[in-house]
Structure 1
């Protein structure tokens, strides 16, 4: 039996879905390139808008067990609710209700609790989120094919054909690039489009011994050390999860980073955090390192769409992990793209509405991430100045509402029509 209903933060559970509704006359079918996080949430949103969808993933198999930990903020939970997985995603991992900023001696500088009326952010494994989204897309009727690496497109006035490395093709009304920060679709839309840039930091994480007085598993701590940035939080099992952002100039892929022995990374980490509390003691017992290499950010992408191609998620707007918003704004964009395709009469007006809804917001979040990266990668003099100014700023500018208000409180009303 078909179900209908409003989607907003008051319906965080299994959202009502009407896949019989049709999108614009120009979009009955869509090819979604990329089967990571952006791909399945986009597929689920398009199915909800009545578009037949096939997702094409370059890898030979599903992404179960792939990836580290990530955070989904309240605005991300709201967007996931729009495709019917609000409760499922909200039950993954562990809640993060409080964020505490500390100095290198472990002294609290200020703390952010969640904004009133909003659910807590969730810290979870990427692979767990992927499985929920993949299963939802399939449940709604999306098809998924693996081992399909896009190498080109063939365009006609009324359709677009994807050409894959294995010699096969697929044709539809629309092609969506959900293929990440190194998007092939982005370069097909604009050969001069920018690629990702390193932000001057390396990402390394792992587990360590318990930290006394950590405040429970719902509290996440961030410390600007003397030479590197350190984050840590308790796990329900009693261990300490942690990450460090080591200053590093230039690129370093995950493959290159993992070629460095774990013992060498631990030596560098312990040297960088010598004298930092509690980083020093956590790293003394660190284990199970996860090395991601250089953190990256995507400069402003001039063209998000062309003809029958459009970008969503990291292919269009990839903030660095410092934003805490990568997954959340990906989900937002997937839902908004589907709404625009549902409500606007043709592709040009749908794409224009989509970009108008999304670009100002994503640009603001990326700019904020860039400022955070710069502070993390700062030299010793700049760090000393920051430590001196932070207490004053926390009493004036650094309030939860100022920092997180319009980001975390953002909602999308699926049932509201997207007008010109």
Structure 2
């Protein structure tokens, strides 16, 4: 008899896991504290690296994601004067790794996964937060906010950076820590901005980092990141956000200022950037954490959603292959820990140059960055080469 599996969280990790489990004959149940509208509306956009697209191929969804996204063929880094500091070439990704890099609206990826999960017949309980977890020797019981208790053989916390499952089932684990950067972004029509030919153009400005990509005839996908106190995110009034962002980018190249002028009045939220310290363990009893709940990857690595989708495929395979949940959890962590910690470290390295303030710090960055870009590209490609959809453990017989 297949294990009863409860999944908390309807993001990439939770929905991906539900799909992977159904494909192996399990009948999972998903609980999500947000409404369905929030799941498909929240967030801005993300980039799926080749390893993430290949994970989606394991669910049969890679082509759909590419259809809804923008193929990203390079990242070009500039200083505040518009001088190119280095290029990370993604043009060969499809040939080299079996899939391109794709920038896609976060909600669009959520809609794709959600539609597939629904088609597979998985029950999804929206607006149903889990408020209690009892981790017994032979089962785990969860109580939801409506007062209903559910019993499972395995409970998976796929509920993100501020995981409620983590705090309920493993209260001694470290909590997220702010890393000094705030950021925002959006998708906006700016007709006088030319297409970028698949390049994500990034600028280390004097006060903020800025990046954007645009397909012919399509909108601009833009984001920024800037050093500030964490409380600043709450202090920036929405009505004043336009002026604040325009001031941040006042000395940027003209094209950046055009995008900000069009986009800033629509900014509705500023996001603090958090790290989760390396957790000493990802499971306890019959409860396991995956995705950002276990190993939050900063946006600077471009690997958060990709690692979550990989986790989903690998955990489903481990649960099928092992005789007990505990042995499946040990195997999962042994397979995943070194890999995700490499992605976390890559993200931290990517965030450091964005904190450079003052003339001297910027000058040193401009001198050093061209030397480190090739090293960073090699580090990325080591992550990209993994095929979660085509490894013996993960690939169904």
SS at match of 2:274: strand
Q: What residue number does 1:276 align with?
A: 252
Shift of 1:134: 1.2
- Which moves more between the two structures, 159-168 or 277-286? 277-286
Residues 39 and 239 (structure 1 numbering): CA distance in 2 closer, same or farther, change over 3 Å? closer
SS at match of 1:77: helix
- Contact in 1 for aligned 2:238/2:267 (Cα 8 Å): no
Q: What residue number does 1:53 align with?
A: 28
Q: What residue number does 1:385 align with?
A: 364
Shift of 1:238: 5.1
Separation in 2, partners of 1:117, 1:194: 38
How many residues are paired up? 385
Residue among 276, 291, 302 paired with 1:324: 302
Q: What residue number does 1:198 align with?
A: 178
Q: What residue number does 2:44 align with?
A: 68
Residue among 280, 302, 318 paired with 1:302: 280
Separation in 1, partners of 2:78, 2:195: 12
Shift of 1:31: 0.4
Structure 1 stretches of 4+ with a deviation exceeding 6 A read: none
- Deviation digits for residues 360-379 of structure 1, max 9, x if unmatched? 11111111211222221122
SS at match of 2:166: helix
Q: What residue number does 2:269 align with?
A: 291
Residue among 86, 91, 96 paired with 1:110: 86
Shift of 1:166: 1.5
Separation in 1, partners of 2:391, 2:207: 49
Runs of 5+ unmatched residues, structure 2: none
TM superposition score normalised by structure 1: 0.85
Q: What residue number does 1:215 align with?
A: 196
Task: Pick the structure with more helix per residue.
Answer: 2
Separation in 2, partners of 1:67, 1:61: 13
- Contact in 1 for aligned 2:132/2:142 (Cα 8 Å): yes
Residues 156 and 213 (structure 1 numbering): CA distance in 2 closer, same or farther, change over 3 Å? closer
Shift of 1:187: 1.7
- Contact in 1 for aligned 2:278/2:295 (Cα 8 Å): yes
SS at match of 1:195: coil
Q: How does 1:212-291 map to 2 (within 5 A)?
A: 215-216=196-197, 218-237=198-217, 239-251=219-231, 256=234, 260-262=237-239, 264-278=240-254, 279-286=256-263, 287-291=265-269
Q: What residue number does 1:138 align with?
A: 118
- Deviation digits for residues 72-99 of structure 1, max 9, x if unmatched? 1110011111122222223222111111
Residue among 327, 332, 337 paired with 1:359: 337
Shift of 1:48: 1.5
Shift of 1:213: 6.0
Q: How does 1:391-406 map to 2 (within 5 A)?
A: 391-394=370-373, 397-398=374-375, 400=377, 402-406=378-382
TM superposition score normalised by structure 2: 0.90
Residue among 2, 13, 16 paired with 1:41: 16
Residues 326 and 392 (structure 1 numbering): CA distance in 2 closer, same or farther, change over 3 Å? closer
- Contact in 2 for aligned 1:211/1:282 (Cα 8 Å): no
Shift of 1:399: 6.3
- Which moves more between the two structures, 294-303 or 62-71? 62-71
Residues 52 and 391 (structure 1 numbering): CA distance in 2 closer, same or farther, change over 3 Å? closer
- Contact in 1 for aligned 2:17/2:312 (Cα 8 Å): yes
RMSD: 2.2
